[in-house]
Amino acid sequence: KQEVTQIPAALSVPEGENLVLNCSFTDSAIYNLQWFRQDPGKGLTSLLLIQSSQREQTSGRLNASLDKSSGRSTLYIAASQPGDSATYLCAVIVGGFKTIFGAGTRLFVKA
Amino acid sequence: ETGVTQTPRHLVMGMTNKKSLKCEQHLGHNAMYWYKQSAKKPLELMFVYSLEERVENNSVPSRFSPECPNSSHLFLHLHTLQPEDSALYLCASSQSRGLAGGREQYFGPGTRLTVT
A85 by DSSP, 3-state: which? coil
- Whether residue A49 and residue B112 make contact (CB cut-off 8 A), yes or no, is no
Q: For residue A16, how many C-alpha atoms fall within 13 Å in the half-sphere facing its CB? A: 1
Classify B50 as helix, strand or coil: strand
pLDDT digits 0-9 by tens, A10-42:
999 999 999 999 999 999 888 899 999 999 988
Q: pLDDT at position B100, please?
A: 46
Question: How high is the mean pLDDT of chain A?
Answer: 95
CB pairs under 8 A between A and B: 65
Pairing, β B111-115 against β B106-107? unpaired
Helix, strand or coil, per DSSP, at residue B85 = helix
Instruction: Name the residue of chain A whose CA is nearest to B10's CA.
Output: A41
Q: What is the pLDDT of residue A41?
A: 84
CA distances in angstroms from B82 to A60, B76, B79, listed in the order given = 44, 15, 9
Chain B touched by A34 (CB under 8 Å): yes
The region that residue A41 occupies, defined by phi over 0 for left and psi between -120 and 50 for alpha, beta otherwise, is left
**CB contact, 8 Å: B112 with chain A?**
yes
CA of A32: which chain B residue's CA is closest? B102
Cβ proximity of A95 and A29 under 8 Å: yes
Cβ of residue A104 closer than 8 Å to a chain B Cβ: yes
Asked if A51 has any chain B CB less than 8 Å from its own CB, the reply is: yes
User: Running along chain B, 116 residues long, what does each successive block of 10 average in pLDDT?
Assistant: 90 93 95 93 93 84 94 96 95 77 86 96
Q: Which residues of B touch A42 (CB under 8 A)?
A: 109-110
